[in-house]
Amino acid sequence: MGASPPIGNKNAEKYSKKDALKLFSDSLKKSMEMVDGGVEYKYDFIGEVARDLKTYHYIYAHLVNRFPELDSMFIELRANLEANCYCNTKKGKIKEATGIVNLKSNHKWTDRNDHTSSDKSMSPKQEPLDLSKLSDDELEIMEKLQKKIEG
């Protein structure tokens, strides 16, 4: 497998489908490696796996875009690393704050329900409906529905 494509040179794609499959296979194996003694998983962040395989973590998404059949392997890799991070954090093998940052940043974990829309608070106040654009038939239907609701 060749080195990562040179940054800025979009015409120098070095990964064949075979190379990409090998990278994902090697990454999955690494994601299940245990530290000596078998008490903790060695990898809980995709960047560490990529670094040790002499590439960078952005290549995974790029290769899945090129070869969609690798998506299930990518999902499995991310799931392994997420579980590793949780397990290592729970056992105190990595600092809790580091585990929380990793899980929130890379695995979309939250510690509360998000009651916002597009990072803006949803307003409980609703604007009145503009009924001027409705036909007489539509207004009649709405009136009947309102009476039905009111009982």
pLDDT in tens, 80-119: 998 888 888 888 888 877 777 777 777 777 776 656 666 6
3-state secondary structure of 70: helix
Alpha-helical segments (H) within the chain: 17-31, 46-52, 58-66, 71-90, 96-107, 136-150
Give tens-digit pLDDT for 41-85. Answer: 899 889 999 999 999 999 999 999 999 999 999 999 999 998 888
Asked if residue 9 has pLDDT above 60, the reply is no
In-domain check, residue 34:
yes
pTM: predicted TM-score of the whole model, two decimal places: 0.63
In-domain check, residue 125:
no
Give the range of the structural domain holding residue 45, as residue numbers without chain letter.
17-111
Instruction: Report pLDDT for 103.
Output: 75
Number of domains in the chain: 1
In-domain check, residue 40:
yes
Phi-psi region of 69 (alpha: psi -120 to 50; beta: other; left: phi over 0): alpha
In-domain check, residue 24:
yes
3-state secondary structure of 122: coil
d(CA 51, CA 32): 16
